[in-house]
Amino acid sequence: MSHEPNIEDSFIDQIETIILENLCNEQFGVSELAETMNMSRSNLLRKIKKTTALSASQFIRQVRLKKSMQMLQETQLTVSEISYQVGFGSISYFIKCFREYYGHPPGEVGKGTLVEEKEPVQTHYFKRHQRQIIATSTLFLVLVISFFIFSKKETTKAVEIEKSIAVLPFKNESNNSSNLYFVNGLMESALNNLQKIEDLRVISRTSVEKYRHTNKSIPEIAEELDVNYLVEGSGQRVGDRVLLNIQLIDASTDTPIWVKQYNQKVVDVFDLQNEVAKKIADAIKAKVTAFEMEQIDKKPTENLLAYDYYLQALDPYNTRTMEGLEEAISLFEKAVEEDSQFALAYAYIAFSYYYIDLFQKQKQYTELINNNADKALLYNAKSAESLIAKAVYYMHIKEYRLALPHLEKALEYNPNSSAVVNMLSSLYANYIPNTAKYLTYALKGIQLDIAANDSITKSYIYLNLSNALIQNGFTEEASKYIDESLNYSPNNYFAPYVKAYILYARHRDIEQTKKALMLELQKDTTRLDILQEVAKLHYYQEDYDTAFLYYEKFVEARIESDLDIYPHEDIKIGLVYEKMGLDEKASEFFTSYADFCENDESIYKSVSVAALYAHEGKIDEAIEQLKVFATKSNYQYWLLLFMKMDPVFKPLKNHPEFNNVMQKIDERFWENHSQLKNTLEDQGLIK
């Protein structure tokens, strides 16, 4: 019998060695392991999954936990010391993982009853003689079926390629330029149908539009868009017939894997669009559920003239200019005149009015947005567009929590909707704070909007992602993307501001941060966001004289412009004014802050109230509020960085429970951070 090393065992041994070499580095995860192994992340994930039946992040955690057990048995180190030495930033999270894996907490190791390492249910490889028994025995087939499938199919099953696809702008083959809207409509319909399939990752229309007149090759486009398949099409409308040439291309080989020429009557255009989506999904073996098939088969309207008006409206609508939107509304309204139950047209009327009103101080079209959204839902409640229309109405009237369920349901109907993903990212960033969801949707958004049309848009996409990363404590990743943002647009208005704080998170150098922000303030002295940040940094250093100079300018500008901004900062401003002997004015800020706390519905309410109680001398009540906050999840990293140095909390520092509750807040954050990192790695959102 051969005693040559098993290839899978050798692979596992190799990655275990690498993990152990980087054991104390909490940031050493799947991406770092893949880089060290000189493998792509996807190949590493696939191979670990095949060999161990674990995700890569689970396997890394397993190696850390096994080493922790060995250290508990063989050394005199404390649980806390071992936790950090095996790469867990949070002791509580380490204890939780240890208990889940071994069935008992680490503190019980060595007490006489639980000293032996417990073999987990899932092991990363079987011993060689066990493999041989499995290979020759059918008696235990049921028990080892999962192992049997993985080991036996390896030689015959091809490596599964990610089902990522981009639909390039279709070409108008007619000499009549007025025919272009119809060809564009065919392209948009093909895109929309594919977006309804959750098993696909479909790049947004805005990302592919830049390739309408490109000379780039298929492999170049695919690399830029990070997709494995591209759809090309050309067509025209001739009288009552549609002529369409379409092909699905495997980007890795630049060869078509499905080609079709259509010559059908216009009355059959919906059947044509639906068949294209089904044929493409079938060609790349995408799973299409019965509900997704039902959504694809559903005709938007039976009235072809109404549909023609709708297609004509899309081009001006996509300009997002005032003139374009007004032209689009006129055409969408003609569509609903022809078909009074045309839900899709009603939804786009609502969108158009929403965009017209978006930056207007005095809103004019609130009722029109609502009425058209309601009609869209009335005639098709299972349409992503109908749900988005109602969501934008709620966003328009600032009822953000009411928008959430509509957007989340819309994402079920259209899992590849970059519009929905970006709206959710914005809501969780700004209006319903949840740092984990903010980052998750920001990462999904960048996958769908991977190649925005211009460098400025790209810069802001990377800025948003960087901001989401730093809020969750992913400092190195945030630093990478903020640099990308500035590379695309050095004049990005907000990127230097975010970069200054990312650098603070890395180096904890408050003087460096102040200098960086002052440079931005010198470029534009009217920037109230920077003005209050500079004031706040001086406040943290208890340099109240200088803080007052900047806060005073900020307050004057806020009053002059009648702006209701940064109400959560009023307690800091009040404290500075109090230190300057301006008690009456300070009292106004404290009253304003108390009103803010009363109306605050965010996860930060308890910590805000704690600050108020601390200032009022209600020490025990303040500590109780901090205890409440210590149970919350997904709060911003900035709290950890600045809370302990905030002068408003100084009266609490002598309380016997203060340090303990602050440690719990810290541990809770890093526990959330570790869990989020594992989830994002498993979903393939962090590379």
pLDDT band at 146 (very low <50, low <70, confident <90, very high): very low
- The per-residue pLDDT for range 178-189, each reduced to its tens digit, is 677 888 888 888
DSSP conformation class of 430: I
The CA distance from 449 to 434, in Å, is 22
Looking at residue 438, its pLDDT comes to 93
- With b for 16 or more beta-carbon neighbours within 10 A and e for fewer, the 114-151 pattern comes to eeeeeeeeeebbbeeeebeebeeeeeeeeebeebeebb
Would you state the torsion angle of the CA atoms of residues 338, 341, 347, 349, taken in this order, to the nearest 10 degrees?
30
Assess whether pLDDT exceeds 50 at residue 51: yes
- The per-residue pLDDT for range 208-248, each reduced to its tens digit, is 888 888 888 888 888 888 889 999 988 888 888 888 889 99
Residue 492 contacts residue 483 (beta carbons within 8 Å): no
The CA distance from 190 to 168, in Å, is 10
Assess whether pLDDT exceeds 50 at residue 680: yes
Q: Which residue has the higher pLDDT, 47 or 343?
A: 343
List residues bridging with 202 in a β-sheet.
165
- Region 630-636: what's the mean pLDDT? 93
- Is CATH 2.40.160.40 correct for 7-125? no
Phi-psi region of 87 (alpha: psi -120 to 50; beta: other; left: phi over 0): left
CATH 3.40.50.10070 domain range(s) in the chain: 164-286
Phi-psi region of 686 (alpha: psi -120 to 50; beta: other; left: phi over 0): beta
- The per-residue pLDDT for range 384-443, each reduced to its tens digit, is 999 999 999 999 999 999 999 999 999 999 998 888 998 999 999 989 999 999 999 999
Assess whether pLDDT exceeds 90 at residue 383: yes
Assess whether pLDDT exceeds 70 at residue 68: yes
The CA distance from 276 to 189, in Å, is 10
- With b for 16 or more beta-carbon neighbours within 10 A and e for fewer, the 428-448 pattern comes to bbeebbbbbbbbbbbbbbbbb
Indicate the length of the chain as a whole number: 687
pLDDT band at 1 (very low <50, low <70, confident <90, very high): very low
List residues bridging with 512 in a β-sheet.
none
CATH 1.25.40.10 domain range(s) in the chain: 300-415
Q: What is the 3-state secondary structure (H, E, C) of 294-330?
A: HHHHCCCCCCHHHHHHHHHHHHHHHHCCHHHHHHHHH
Looking at residue 126, its pLDDT comes to 31
The CA distance from 475 to 467, in Å, is 10
Assess whether pLDDT exceeds 70 at residue 674: yes
Looking at residue 114, its pLDDT comes to 38
- Region 9-33: what's the mean pLDDT? 82
Q: Which residue has the higher pLDDT, 488 or 661?
A: 661
The CA distance from 15 to 4, in Å, is 19
Q: What is the largest CA-CA distance in the chain?
A: 91
- Is CATH 3.20.20.150 correct for 164-286? no
Assess whether pLDDT exceeds 90 at residue 596: yes
Distances from the Cα of 213 to the Cα of 186, 208, 209, angstroms:
18, 11, 9
- Is CATH 1.25.40.10 correct for 300-415? yes
The CA distance from 469 to 687, in Å, is 13
- The per-residue pLDDT for range 444-486, each reduced to its tens digit, is 888 887 665 567 778 888 899 999 999 999 999 999 999 999 9
The CA distance from 639 to 643, in Å, is 5
Residue 570 contacts residue 592 (beta carbons within 8 Å): yes
Return mean pLDDT, the chain: 85
The CA distance from 52 to 47, in Å, is 8
N- to C-terminal Cα distance for the chain? Answer: 42
The CA distance from 429 to 441, in Å, is 10
Ranges of H-type helices in 472-494:
475-488
Would you state the torsion angle of the CA atoms of residues 653, 655, 659, 665, taken in this order, to the nearest 10 degrees?
-90
CATH 1.10.10.60 domain range(s) in the chain: 7-125
The CA distance from 681 to 41, in Å, is 10
**H or E element that contains 202:** strand 201-202
Which residue from 209, 211, 213 is spatially nearest to 188, judged by alpha carbons?
209
Looking at residue 145, its pLDDT comes to 25
